[in-house]
Amino acid sequence: MFLASLAWVVLLTMPAPVSTPEVVQDKPASAGRLVEITGGDDMKYNVTSISAKPGETLRIRLVSKGTLPKIAMAHNVVVLKAGAKQIDFVNAASQARATDFIPPDMKDQVLGATTLAGPGETVEVVFKVPAAAGSYPYVCTFPGHFAAGMRGTIVAK
């Protein structure tokens, strides 16, 4: 009940979105190894750990399985550099609706990001995992989702 109330508070206090994500079409296999992630009204990714090789190209596809209106419940996948302060990033992101919750002054911390996906929408991002072995976090930057547990890690080794 609390989460539903929170969603409506977010809905009522946020300006209308300035952009809408496209529904992506399949890309050729040469676009990278596909990892499909789903997210829904429970504000959780179904995949929270991805193994990768350093330098590998990944294609993360996010399928939104939610039912709440997009203005109240949208999802994205933002892959951050190793060492990025996730909490600082998502706190700044909550104030960056005009840029799909990616804070412009922190874009240098982003390896790749999808646009926002509402109910039934699919978005994706293709990016290269850094050559250095390490852990690279990914998060949903829609307000409240990181705190609810919508996050994961790409482990490159």
pLDDT tens for each residue of 78-87: 999 999 999 9
What amino acid occupies position 1? M
CA dihedral 138, 141, 142, 148 (to 10 degrees): 60
43-46, long-range: CB < 8 A, 24+ apart: 43/3, 43/73, 43/140, 43/144, 43/145, 43/148, 43/149, 43/150, 44/148, 44/149, 44/150, 45/77, 45/140, 45/150, 45/151, 45/152
**In the predicted model, is pLDDT for residue 54 greater than 70?**
yes
- Given a contact cutoff of 8 angstroms between Cβ atoms, the answer to whether 20 and 120 are in contact is no
Mean pLDDT of 57-80: 96
Return the closest-CA partner of residue 58 out of 147, 152, 143: 152
Q: How far apart are CA 123 and CA 40, in angstroms?
A: 14
Mean pLDDT of 102-107: 97
Q: Residue 30 has what pLDDT?
A: 61
Residue with more model confidence, 55 or 3: 55
**In the predicted model, is pLDDT for residue 11 greater than 50?**
no
How many other CB atoms are found less than 10 A from the CB of residue 153?
Answer: 17
- Domains of the chain, by residue range, sit at 2-156
Mean pLDDT of 130-139: 97
Q: How far apart are CA 123 and CA 10, in angstroms?
A: 22
Q: How remote is the C-alpha of 128 from its chain's centroid?
A: 16
Q: Residue 26 has what pLDDT?
A: 46
CATH superfamily of this structure's domain 2-156: Cupredoxins -  blue copper proteins (2.60.40.420)
Q: Residue 154 has what pLDDT?
A: 98
Q: What are 24-33's pLDDT values in tens digits?
A: 444 554 689 9
